[in-house]
Structure 1
């Protein structure tokens, strides 16, 4: 692993597109340009601030990843369930009803597979319905009945962190479940 202290961080670039604005953070590590795009200015600004802080504290950067060598990925602190909810909410206004339905179904299968079971005393069908019809539906989530809220709270507590995707066995399980 090659590390360097040769880092330059530029200002945030705003881009206007048909589907809304995006904000790009640009930086170079050992002369290799890097770029990461965010949906909001606040997210871009936070990421840029992390890069600038790392350079001010003298943290070496990994040349291959372009990130501070001690940078802990956001994946280790974000749960799969919270990520999936954020993904649905971000996509919701921009996609068709059919796309929303397919996304909810895919996320339901993925979530159920990652959890490896259902809440105690709950069958697979009501559990999957709670995920598909309530958790992964931006318009209905806040209106979920009490029993659904109990199921979804269980999901939130049991959901693995995003670093689960570093485990090839977990990825294989999800792909097999999705193929069925």
Structure 2
């Protein structure tokens, strides 16, 4: 069983955020999110699909154990009886970064096969915040209909589309801004976002 805790985790806090990582390209978004959250008081619960473990090897110079070390608690994707599979376990919500079309479709149907999609289904039924950083393009009508269905259920569809008003100078700048804007949805300010009219002048 993978489920493990790091020393920062607490059993009493409700300042918990579930971070799911699916096998879509763009695993850097999930990795960077966990890194940003380490500087906050948020307790992170990570669940990563088997496909995402493969993607990690293709896209980043990082081992699975290194990814696990970024979270306060790690749950095996096969453990459908984990704490995050129950609505009685208090959390702020869940982000799937990145979110594959397969994971998105499972969540929309309610027919979930792993802890990743089961946890997301629980977030929806408890009326908590579910944010899906869907990584796919172009999108056919079926994808768009699935997104509409999820939006109607209460999910937030947040594809990681880059902003350029902040004049990014690197891929890291683009990733940080996208991740920071998603964390904004949970009222978590990591200081990574250049804000229009605040840190980025209007003139």
Q: TM-score, normalised by structure 2?
A: 0.22
Give the number of the structure with larger relative contact order, counting CA–CA contacts within 8 Å between residues 6 or more apart: 2
Q: Could you say which structure has the higher helix fraction?
A: 1
